[in-house]
Amino acid sequence: MFFHENELQYPVEVEEPNPAFARMLQQAIGGVEGEIRVFSQYLFQGMNQPPENHEMRMLLYETAMEELGHVEMLATAVAKNLEGAPVGLREEMSQDSAVNAAMHGYLPRQFLSAGMGAMPINSQGEPFTMDHVYASGNPAADMYANVTAEATGRTLATRLWEMTDDPGMKDMLSYLIARDTMHQNQWLAALQALGDPDDAFDHLPVPDSFPQEEENQEFNYEFMSTTREERENPEQPWTTGDSVDSEGEFSFGRQPGGGEPNLPSPDPRTYNQPTNEE
């Protein structure tokens, strides 16, 4: 069950509106690295937790609500950056370049479809799709997906921080970057809690509930080189030494080869014409 309060989670001020930056901020709302994605991802992971996973459920819901508040902050920032943006086309085109750039800086649909409001789209105008929500049911796989989301999210936020010199926007981004730091840490803490907390990678390989004797043990720690000509073991951390999960030893090999694929001949009722080869 969910509630709201008519207050932002953190102040959002824009000193000088910049329509082009409004467009860039959309990436943090509706982009694959953005806040709608993490909100939805943590919510769906949370809603699928059985009662015995109470703390995991709480962890996911707590942060889902925080992320929804980030969506609200960013939407506010978009609307404030669009304030006073030019609407007409022709006049600006014959005047000066700064106005031109501003005009073309925002996405057409921010005016045409939304009347200068935030939209659930990315910086190129593509709507967010829920296909990007990872909730596999396997908590270790999901925690890695969450770290990935926060790592790409923090990378995005630092790039946005580079793009602007508006003090209000820099302050808001500095807050969001800080929260991404926390979230990377918290999901990794949750990952460690899935196994022996003293062994950073005890939960591997994901899923660790599959009996490892059923996987083909000839190939599970061999790096498979596919360069055209065979090459020497480059002695990298992934070709030699103990495996990260401490369950095997890395080696360096080639693709085993499995013979020609022998597909069945097509059923004549598919009307796949024969190629008349001899």
Q: Report 155-184 residues binding a second copy (CB under 8 A).
A: 155-156, 158-166, 171, 174-175, 177-182, 184
Total site size for a second copy, rule CB under 8 A: 207
Q: Is 273 in the site for a second copy (CB under 8 A)?
A: yes
By CB under 8 A, is residue 198 in contact with a second copy? no
List the one residue from 35, 38, 232, 262 that touches a second copy (CB under 8 A). Answer: 262
Q: Is 101 in the site for a second copy (CB under 8 A)?
A: yes
d(C-alpha 7, C-alpha 73), whole Å: 10
Nearest Cα residue to 164 out of 173, 151, 152? 173
What's the rounded Cα separation, in Å, for the pair 239 and 114? Answer: 53
For 239-262, the three-class secondary structure string (H helix, E strand, C coil) is CCCECCCCCCECEEEECCCCCCCC
Contact between 125 and 107 under an 8 Å Cβ cutoff? The reply is yes
Q: What is the 3-state secondary structure (H, E, C) of 212-226?
A: HHHCCCCCCCEEEEC
> Which of 10, 167, 198, 233 forms a contact with a second copy (CB under 8 A)?
10
Q: Is 21 in the site for a second copy (CB under 8 A)?
A: yes
Kindly state whether residue 127 participates in binding a second copy, applying the rule CB under 8 A.
yes
Q: How far apart are CA 24 and CA 18, in angstroms?
A: 10
What are the backbone dihedrals phi and psi of residue 177, each rounded to the nearest 5 degrees, phi first? -65, -40
Query: Which is nearer to a second copy, 38 or 156 (by Cβ)?
Result: 156
Taking CB under 8 A as the rule, does residue 202 contact a second copy? Answer: no
232 near a second copy, judged by CB under 8 A: no
Q: Least distance (Å) from a second copy to the CB of residue 29?
A: 10
**Minimum gap (Å) between residue 199 Cβ and a second copy:** 10
